[in-house]
Amino acid sequence: MSNPQRYDIYEWNRQSYWSIVFFVFNFLKAIATNIPALIGLYTVLSKTGWNVFIFIALLLGLLTVLGLFSFIAFKRFRYKIEGDEFLIESGVFVSKKLRISFDRIQSININQSLIHRFIGVVSLEMDTAGSKGKEVHLSAISSKFAEYIKGTIYSHIEDNSSYNPLHEDETVTQERNKEKKVLFRLSASDNLKYGLLDNHLRNLLYVLALAFGLFGQINDLFEDQASNFIDNNINGMEATIMANIIFSVIVMIIFIMLIVLVISVGKSFLKYFDLKMWVTNKGYGMIAGLLSRQETHIALHKIQTLHWTTNPLKSKFDMYDLVLSQARSTDNDPKNNKVFTVPGMGKKGIKAILNDVLKEEIPDYFGASAFSIDSSYAKRFTFYSSIVPVIGIGVLSYFFGWNYMVYALLIAALFYVAYTLFQSNFRYIIGEKVIWVSKGVLGRTFEAAEVNKIQTIELVQSPYQRRKDLASLKLFTAGSNIKIPYIPLELAYQIRAYLLKEVNTSNEAWM
Amino acid sequence: MNGMESSAYNNRHLKIHEIAAIENQEYEFLDSKSRLASFIGSLITVLIIGIGLAVLLYFVMDKMPFPVPYILIGVYSTLALWMLIYPFLAYKKRGYIIRSYDITYKTGVIWKKVISIPYNRIQHSSIKQGPIYKTLGLSNLNIFTAGGSNSDLEIAGLKLEDANKLKAYITKKVGELDV
């Protein structure tokens, strides 16, 4: 495609010489997993009078053989295209031949890890239907050649109309070369900001829960010695020492918080480093990552639902996580339920994408067409959520003293505040073509799904809802689902009838 | 699909008073033998758990602190009673509606659920028969969509010939409406 004179995939090709490095690496990895065996071998041999030098000499010999093997492996690893198949020949002693027909290829991914970038090569993987791992893995080839292979195979697939239309979207990659209109880019400073504004409180709670769990286990292990120690010492202590302890606990929490912060900021920084998202005429593409660069694609017609989330801090800086849910190709396979997540996107970018995918503007969630849910939602859900903890704590209080019931009340109060906020924030709009939901306790999640993408409609009523003539609606799509709880029954009926009519009479394909 | 339209129920919702049709429809009940089938199923489960509990209590009743065995027996009897009554309660609450464009199924004694699936969203359907159903001439009709396992529909307790008829109708509809 880019240089047909130099590249010819229809003849046998070898990988870049650098692939030897990866062959060595793979062999070493195989050896590394056998290190216990090596140690065992060494101890056995040392008892029979062998010394360490002979062992090292043996190891060196092994490494030489390994280098040789890697070279042979490199020489014998060949690949080409023949007809509608991708052929690979490999194997050091036993020659292996692999034929992959194009209609089995789900996607072709080009990746570049840090080592790859240092050397200036890429790896190419082909995802094939009916196999768990990556059947085809070229560990080191030049990036131009990789693009050429990808383009060639995709154009083969495209030319042959008898192929599954599922593959259409994968040709996105090919389009990308012609037209790479960058829609969104996460700068390094925005990336840091994004990481810093993340919900660290939640992470801290996880860590604290873990720490308390550990304390409990240690306490159990030493039969309450730990808590006895703390009790005894605290009882006999002066106020100043108490203050010191409280101070050090606070310092400790701040310290843990800092560690959590550094880890999560670092993680998101590595993952989203130099993130680029671009538009093609078939869909979107995205690439990101510092240590290993991950490239993902999504086709417009495969998008089932869109949602974008923010927390109170991020919303101040106009940062949202946009998630495009793709249709799952098979059930019960989480790997197939792919989502396309763009972190730290601004409202402007989201508007552009909504315009592109849904051909609609973000509606006014407080306008005339927006509905809210019934206020009894907060009380009922507080009741449902707190009943188990309250009974649990109640039983404990029976044995250990009723003052523990304070915690039960506290939990119920927290639930009540959260559900009240959720209920008063919930807004939904049943548009002509799109269903919109806005919800959240402190942060916000916005959901949008085309009416046409709905697969199944479920109307649920609890005994309480039946008494109050309320119902909850669940709208299932092939991507994610939309729930509208606690709305008047009559309205639920109308919405259901409307949606069914729209879906029943729709001639548009949902995928 | 003009010929179909006249014979089957027409659910084109054109005017506002015609909207909201499902809730005004008469649901078709499942086969009356399905009560017996689920009762036998429940009975077997109740017996197995009961035997397990009896064996457990026989060996360790003395070692348990005072109220525990009685709590266990109480919980078991309540559950057993519920499981044995449930098939008869559930039967009255279950039903389906076939319309020219979609199928609706309702279920649930305490929490009620009404699931509607348009034919043009159905991926495939299948008929299943367990040993109890087989002897009673009943079957399960499963309808699958791309919406994941939570959105799939299982109509349990149809007469086998009804299930076959229904499946054939749905398959035909799916073929007609497929875009």
What mean pLDDT value characterizes chain A? 81
What is the average pLDDT across A132-136? 62
- Restricting to A residues 390-449, those with a Cβ less than 8 Å away from any Cβ of B are none
pLDDT at A437 over 90: yes
pLDDT at position A252: 84
Strand runs labelled E in A300-433: 303-310, 320-326, 339-345, 427-430
Return d(Cα B124, Cα A331) in angstroms, integer. 13
Alpha-carbon A99 to chain mean position: 32
CB contact under 8 A, A456 and B21: no
Contact B120 A496 (CB under 8 A): no
Q: By CB neighbour count within 10 A (0-12 exposed, 13-18 middle, 19+ buried), where does B145 fall?
A: buried
Q: Name the minimum distance, in Å, from the CA of B105 to any CA of chain A.
A: 10
- For residues A435 and A446, what is the distance between their CA atoms, to the nearest angstrom? 11
Q: Under a CB-based contact definition with an 8 Å cutoff, are residues A72 and A1 in contact? A: no
In this structure, how many other beta carbons lie within 10 angstroms of the beta carbon of residue A411?
Answer: 18
Residue pointed to by tokens 């599922």 = A166
- Asked if pLDDT for residue B7 goes beyond 50, the answer is no
Shortest CA distance from A494: residue in chain B: B20
**Helices and strands in chain A, H and E counts:** 16, 19
Quote the CA–CA distance of B156 and A105 in Å, as a whole number. 39
Strands A320-326 and A339-345: antiparallel
What pLDDT was estimated at residue A134? Answer: 58
Tokens standing for B122?
């159905």
Contacts for A293 with CB less than 8 Å, ≥ 6 apart: A111, A112, A113, A117, A287
Which tens digit of pLDDT belongs to each residue from A44-88?
A: 777 766 677 777 888 888 888 888 888 888 888 999 888 888 888
Residue A312 CA to its chain's centroid (Å): 22
Q: CB of A269 within 8 A of CB of A197?
A: no
Interface of B with A (CB under 8 A): 11-13, 19-23, 101-102, 110-121, 144-153, 179
Would you say residue A443 has pLDDT above 50? yes
Q: Over range A439-446, report the average pLDDT.
A: 93
Q: Please state, in angstroms and rounded to a whole number, the distance separating the CA atoms of residues B160 and A35.
A: 61
Cα distance between residue A77 and residue B44, in whole Å: 61
Q: What band does A326 get if pLDDT is binned at 50, 70 and 90?
A: confident
| Number of residues written out for chain A | 511
8 Å CB contact of B146 and A497: no
Least reliable range by pLDDT among A94-108, A331-345, A387-401: A331-345
Q: Mean pLDDT check: name the lowest of A116-130, A276-290, A454-468, B17-31.
A: B17-31
Q: Please list, in sequence order, all residues whose beta carbon lies within 8 angstroms of the beta carbon of residue A46, skipping any fewer than 6 positions away.
A: A52, A55
pTM of the shown model: 0.70
Chain-chain contact of A459 with B113 (C-beta, under 8 angstroms): yes
Task: Please state the separation of Cα A449 from the chain's center in Å.
Answer: 20
Q: Are the beta carbons of A462 and B110 separated by less than 8 Å?
A: yes
Please list every residue in chain A whose beta carbon sits closer than 8 Å to the beta carbon of residue B118. 500, 503-504
Interface contact A496-B116, CB threshold 8 A: yes
Tokens of A234: 């605290």
